[in-house]
Amino acid sequence: MEFRDNEAIYFQIATFVGENILLEKWKPGEKIPSVRDLAADLQVNPNTVMRSYEFLQGKEVIVNKRGIGFFVTEDSICKIKEHRKELFLGQELPLFFRNLSLLGISIEEIEQRYIVFLKENNQFEK
């Protein structure tokens, strides 16, 4: 995993875990890698992974079953989407709108490109 300098590593690891859940690599009710295993895989300090897991526990995405390990919660996908939507709308969307304005890109052009994206990724519903 390539870490970015502009974001805390624990948060990037939490995002990585969330993506694995959203992609259903780690399904609700299933055990996720131990702190030590994930730390070894990502080549980071186990304390950093533990901080990520604590963050995800606070968001009710994973739960610690003492002595057994961490498990994906049943409503994890909903919780991840809620959190990511909040971040996107609060942080990324204002920057996106600013770039649209600065570059003179219309909402219609964005909509056309979004439709193409959905078609290419077999997600088209319009």
Average pLDDT of the residues in 52-69: 96
Residue with tokens 């080549």: 43
- pLDDT at 35 > cutoff 50: yes
Helix (H) or strand (E) holding 65: strand 62-65
Is the pTM higher than 0.85? The answer reads no
Q: Which of 97, 80, 88 is nearest to 24 (CA)?
A: 80
User: Mean pLDDT over all residues of the chain?
Assistant: 94
Report the C-alpha gap between 57 and 34 in whole angstroms: 14
Q: Which residues contact 100 (CB under 8 A, 6 or more apart)?
A: 106, 107, 110
How do residues 87-108 score in pLDDT, each as one tens digit?
Answer: 999 999 999 999 999 999 999 9
Average pLDDT of the residues in 30-51: 97
pLDDT at residue number 121: 87
Going from the C-alpha of 76 to that of each of 37, 39, 116, the distances in angstroms are 21, 22, 29
> What are the DSSP E strand ranges found in 5-113?
62-65, 69-72
Q: Which domains does the chain have, with CATH numbers?
A: 9-76 (1.10.10.10)
- pLDDT at 126 > cutoff 90: no
How do residues 7-26 score in pLDDT, each as one tens digit?
Answer: 999 999 999 999 999 999 99
